[in-house]
Amino acid sequence: MDFGERCQGQILMKNTKSDNNKAKPFLKWAGGKRQIIDELESFLPMEFRSSRRICNYVEPFVGGGAFFFYLQSFYEISKSLIIDVNPELFIAYSTVKNDPESLIRLLSSYQEEYYILEAGKREIYYYEIRNNYNHSGKAFDYSNDNNRWIERVAQLIFLNRTCFNGLFRQNSKGEFNVPYGNYKNPTICNAENILECSKALKNTDILQGDFSISKKFIDTNTLVYLDPPYRPINKTSSFTSYSKDGFNDTDQKRLAEFYKEMSSIGTYLLLSNSDPKNENPKDSFFEDIYHEFNIVRISASRMINCIGAKRGEVKELIITNYPKGEL
């Protein structure tokens, strides 16, 4: 029995999921894909959409995981792998997968403490948590699972839910540097969703590292979704600091070479990125490095900008190595 047959057998033994049990990202994430999920799904190979089954799913830039959680909720996936270079995400997904109950208990205590505070004291509480989070990160052990992971992940989710615009952003020192958000009663602990996310992660491997480490897990039965840190749409909006190392044009070109290599073995590849033509109609960066593949522009909403008037509809690129609607 070959890999494809084994995969098919495993899928058929799974129960059909209820539409009422839908895992959603437990972190807010800049560039998150919840707003274009339907568009992304329409670009899946036809055989996956018609069967609602995916043998092997790999996502090397998981971020907030919107597409991953959607597929886990509505498709039967035999096995999956998620990767991110950011160690904070590695321990976050690992903790949600392996010990959601302990995480929920700590998040609940943060929420209770936060809700009873007056507005001014809430801000003080926020910066105390942020300072503690940044200080403890200087010598933090991201390699060996321990009880400190739970506390750090709870602090990350708290900060993510109470900071300005719900961002995750690090400076060059690896410190979380988003200011206080001043929201009335943000949902800090969504216990039901954390439990659903834990279920979605049950048959998922989680790795920390560069996207290239996914190579050995990819074959012809694999759907790979690539959502790298976006190339800045202008010189002042360089929001690539999802990790302290960033992701520059050299990395984008390296990713394009990875894309070509994986395409050559017959893998299904779906990639999304910002469209530089939003700012410069002559910028053909992605057309150049992905010229032999299928490039389609879709509409999306840009929700993150310090100037409210500059938020609104923009174009994003979807790049596949197969024609839309034909496979």
pLDDT by residue for the chain (327 residues), tens only, comes to: 333 444 654 444 444 444 556 999 999 887 668 889 999 999 999 999 999 999 999 999 999 999 999 999 999 999 999 999 999 999 999 999 999 999 999 999 999 999 999 989 999 999 999 999 999 999 999 999 888 999 999 999 999 999 998 888 888 888 999 999 999 999 999 999 999 999 999 999 999 999 999 999 999 989 999 999 887 655 554 444 445 557 899 999 999 999 999 999 999 999 999 899 988 999 999 999 999 999 999 988 765 444 444 456 789 999 999 987 654
What is the reported pLDDT for 13? 40
Q: How far is CA 199 from CA 63, 99, 105, in A?
A: 18, 11, 18
Strand-strand pairing, 268-274 and 222-226: parallel
- Predicted local confidence at residue 170, as pLDDT: 85
Helix (H) or strand (E) holding 271: strand 268-274
- Determine the pLDDT at residue 15: 43
Residue 243, pLDDT score = 52
Predicted confidence at residue 309, as pLDDT, reads: 43
Instruction: Note the pLDDT of residue 298.
Output: 93
Residues 242, 86 contacting (CB under 8 angstroms): yes
Pull the structure tokens for residue 100.
Answer: 């959601």
What was the pLDDT predicted at 173?
Answer: 85
- The domains located in the chain, with CATH, are 18-85+209-237+248-320 (3.40.50.150), 92-191 (1.10.1020.10)
